[in-house]
Structure 1
């Protein structure tokens, strides 16, 4: 397949957002800290300066607590937390974990791990307890089963961007605490790849994106979900190979209206990992000059400002 340039990629998915050139980080004004990953370590920045919170590599998917005072993150494929300044680093479980997300009351952290069915499942664990035991959220049928044996946790590394994203099991807890968005679910019995919104109380599941199988003549993935603070929008990172070039889309970001089910593409080709600031702005990971940049994105106009080199951004919540 012929490799497309960034302009051609943008045209391929019908995006109007303009491409940017790197500018000084001081040009970006952020209301709160953004946590992100570069070189396997976690950093925080508001644009003008940055602080490194971890060393040694192997860190991924930092996620702010609702009060903005802690971060959950992955370290060598296991779930850890730390304070906003990088102190108090603490492992919560030895069970392999992926993509953590805090409950809105800050009492629990959801994460993905192997389920009793052999596929990806979603667990929750008490955020502040010592030696807490994970509890199953999804699939519902695993809630009454014994937890599967723990396997050796490994940090995700190597492979192409598409290969890494395709198996990324990051989860996202809804702002009202009632739902969790996650890759996979019961829909995998019909489709080759899918994204689900599950109801915490009853375990019901709703498919919101699907690829291959079930009469769908495509392949792809929908991963790394992210809720807007009002719960009205859910975004995720997507990729699609259709039957024709016109039906194919490189990595891009989808925004989903949780009331109507309407979907739209936001940003430009190769954007991924959107995290909302508010209803008008978000931060994303974008590709520029062959590298990954944490970038400020205006959701209505597509205007974009690079902040720092890095990926996997998470926005610190502002005090209510």
Structure 2
């Protein structure tokens, strides 16, 4: 049974309380976007934009771009084009495809020399790969599952078509990964836990190949279904957030799409933001950006992590915050 905490300004579900819905505070007026200390990259209509406040800059054209992720030095962005991994400079120039292998949700290493991404592994399910961000023509190497490290790479799968349907259906198979700020771990959907659960989220340790399940749904005596996807680390590595959804044993146990924050030291979890918030990225210890629903569309929302207050930033989704240099 899931128990979700309450944060001032957001009313959150405690499983087993009949008739309670996951709701949140009404966003403030979007007339003036809040000011951010550094650029936020986000996607609208298949192209990438960046902004610190009211003014935004478009970095790509032609559509088909997704999941922008800033490098640790803030000078480059990893992103997907048609389901393949690319990089570009912070101003949108020097676009370069790194691999033809189908890829999902990239994440940079702490030193900015490599990028992790998800793709088909020797297990037949999603695996985590790394590839050099600087070497032209570099080959990817699998890191999870660890037993695939000594196997031949599977044939390159075709890029997967974008998911359609409801928000939960589109998010369910998102394989975005997150490399920890200290470079020692990667959070990713799936892993060895899929031999027990129907869906799960894993934190894998690169040095040992060991895996730790941090969220799971269905199977293993769990009377629920759902998913945990799109992980994101706080820059001090003390918190890990992800997008979750749950269908409980009864309607009272249902949790619509929401953001879970996990304390790495204690294992404690809480929900932040509002119903339908997803894809959270930390700005600092006090604020984050997340995709939310506003004006009947997807907007990047600035979220106060202490109070739950949410302010519209710009229309779009999949935000990533440039590290302050």
TM-score by length of 2: 0.93
User: Could you tell me which residue of structure 1 aligns to residue 102 of structure 2?
Assistant: 96
| 3-state SS of paired residue (1:95) | strand
**In structure 2, what is the Cα distance between the partners aligned to 1:27 and 1:49?**
9
| 3-state SS of paired residue (1:94) | strand
User: Could you tell me which residue of structure 2 aligns to residue 23 of structure 1?
Assistant: 30
Contact 2:273-2:308 at 8 Å conserved across structures: yes
Question: Among 201, 213, 216, which residue is 1:210 paired with?
Answer: 216
User: Could you tell me which residue of structure 1 aligns to residue 294 of structure 2?
Assistant: 288
Contact 2:217-2:227 at 8 Å conserved across structures: yes
User: Does 1:67 find its partner at 2:58?
Assistant: no
Runs of 4+ deviating beyond 4 Å: 14-17
1:156, distance to aligned residue in structure 2 (A): 1.8
| 3-state SS of paired residue (2:149) | helix
User: Could you tell me which residue of structure 2 aligns to residue 152 of structure 1?
Assistant: 158
Unmatched segments (≥5 aa) in structure 2: 1-9, 15-21
| 3-state SS of paired residue (2:219) | coil
Contact 1:13-1:250 at 8 Å conserved across structures: no
**In structure 2, what is the Cα distance between the partners aligned to 1:149 and 1:63?**
26
User: Could you tell me which residue of structure 1 aligns to residue 113 of structure 2?
Assistant: 107
User: Does 1:238 find its partner at 2:244?
Assistant: yes
- RMSD across aligned C-alpha pairs, in angstroms? 1.3
**In structure 2, what is the Cα distance between the partners aligned to 1:62 and 1:213?**
33
**In structure 1, what is the Cα distance between the partners aligned to 2:293 and 2:199?**
25
More deviation in 197-206 or 26-35? 26-35
1:245, distance to aligned residue in structure 2 (A): 1.5
Contact 1:16-1:302 at 8 Å conserved across structures: no
User: Could you tell me which residue of structure 2 aligns to residue 13 of structure 1?
Assistant: 13
Summarize the alignment of residues 111-260 of structure 1 with structure 2, pairs less than 5 Å apart.
111-260=117-266
**In structure 2, what is the Cα distance between the partners aligned to 1:12 and 1:72?**
34
More deviation in 41-50 or 83-92? 41-50
Structure 1 residues 37 and 248 mapped into 2: Cα distance closer, same or farther (>3 Å)? Answer: same
User: Does 1:272 find its partner at 2:278?
Assistant: yes
1:155, distance to aligned residue in structure 2 (A): 4.7
**In structure 2, what is the Cα distance between the partners aligned to 1:156 and 1:16?**
28
Contact 1:294-1:313 at 8 Å conserved across structures: yes
Contact 1:58-1:155 at 8 Å conserved across structures: no
1:301, distance to aligned residue in structure 2 (A): 0.5
When the two structures are aligned, how many residues end up with a matched partner?
309
Residues 63-96 of structure 1: per-residue CA shift (max 9 Å, x gap) = 0000000000000000000000000000000000
**In structure 2, what is the Cα distance between the partners aligned to 1:16 and 1:162?**
16
Unmatched segments (≥5 aa) in structure 1: 1-9
| 3-state SS of paired residue (1:72) | strand
